[in-house]
A = this chain, B = another copy of it.
């Protein structure tokens, strides 16, 4: 099984996703500051995986702390929560997981530091386990939407690598593949960070899922040729009305799917829904360094003098989304998410 985020005794272990598909390198983390840097630098990425990693970051912060009282420890935890929250702005799972960890600590007011540390570790492990269970449930709900001999297009990586394991969008594909329904997965390369070619293709190779890699720009003509039966992607944040932020390019795929009458599904854990935002217009969109477009590895691909616009995400209007698949079932428009 692919386990991109796991706890190993005293350390958080991350499969460094920057090294894939060339090398499988696990890195061990003992300090929350290093976990924050790993999130910022994309060693771990994918909304649910970021949430799980950040939860363990709080565990590490509690273990790093030399506090001898609850209040001292809680102050140290709050510093770490703020530091971890400042890494990436779009995926809500990060804030959700940090808030959950912070509340657990807060609820233990008066407990010994070691008791708090133990409880936080149990909570982070619960977040991880719940994510895995949610993905498997999503897979079952989503697979019911996949017809026989389906040719499925996916963008970015919403696979095991983006979660505690199994995956959201690619979890739906995995579950459908287990039922023999997948004829082909079209894997969008997903520039600029290439999560499609580096990560989704790697997962497909590893699990024997039939797939073909395409340039992002080829998705439209594939749909025009009738070669795509459905699209499924993950999500980084879903507003109360169903508007969905996901990897840059998701919106283009959704418009193309609409134009060609191809169903467009989003798969995400319920924790991706942010009921505090009425619509997608309020979702903050991270802009990343232009260097991501000017170089690939050591290869320069654009003039250094060229300005770059590099938003990491875009927002897909709920009107373009055929259904949202969660562990609690499949939601259809008009979207109303009740707990």
Contacts and interface: CB of A to CB of B under 8 A. Distances in A.
Interface stretch (A34-42, A133-141, A191-199, A267-275): A191-199
B252 A256 contact: yes
Given A214-B309, A307-B213, A296 B299 contact: yes
A187 to B, nearest CB: 7
Interface in A125-151: none
A214 B308 CA distance: 6
A220 to B, nearest CB: 3
A64 interface: no
Contact of A220 (B192, B204, B255, B299): B255
27 contacts: A189-B191, A189-B192, A191-B215, A191-B217, A194-B301, A194-B302, A197-B301, A201-B302, A213-B293, A213-B294, A213-B306, A213-B309, A215-B216, A215-B249, A217-B217, A217-B248, A217-B252, A218-B310, A218-B314, A220-B314, A221-B311, A222-B309, A252-B252, A252-B256, A296-B297, A297-B297, A297-B298
A89 interface: no
A293 B188 CA distance: 11
B300 A21 contact: yes
A175 to B, nearest CB: 21
A32 interface: no
State the oligomeric state as a number of copies: 2
A256 B260 CA distance: 12
Contact of A221 (B204, B218, B251): B251
A205 B304 CA distance: 10
A1 interface: no
A289 to B, nearest CB: 13
Interface of A: 21-22, 155, 186-192, 194, 197-198, 201-202, 204-205, 211-222, 224, 247-249, 251-252, 255-256, 258-259, 290, 293-294, 296-303, 305-311, 314-315
B248 A306 contact: no
Contacts of A188: 217
A38 to B, nearest CB: 21
Contacts of A191: 189, 191, 215-217
A194 B293 CA distance: 10
A128 B58 CA distance: 67
Given A217-B191, A311-B221, A298 B301 contact: no
Contacts of A204: 306
A220 B252 contact: yes
Given A220-B255, A297-B298, 18 more contacts: A21-B302, A187-B306, A189-B302, A197-B294, A197-B301, A201-B302, A205-B303, A214-B310, A215-B248, A216-B217, A217-B249, A217-B252, A218-B249, A218-B309, A218-B311, A220-B252, A255-B255, A259-B259
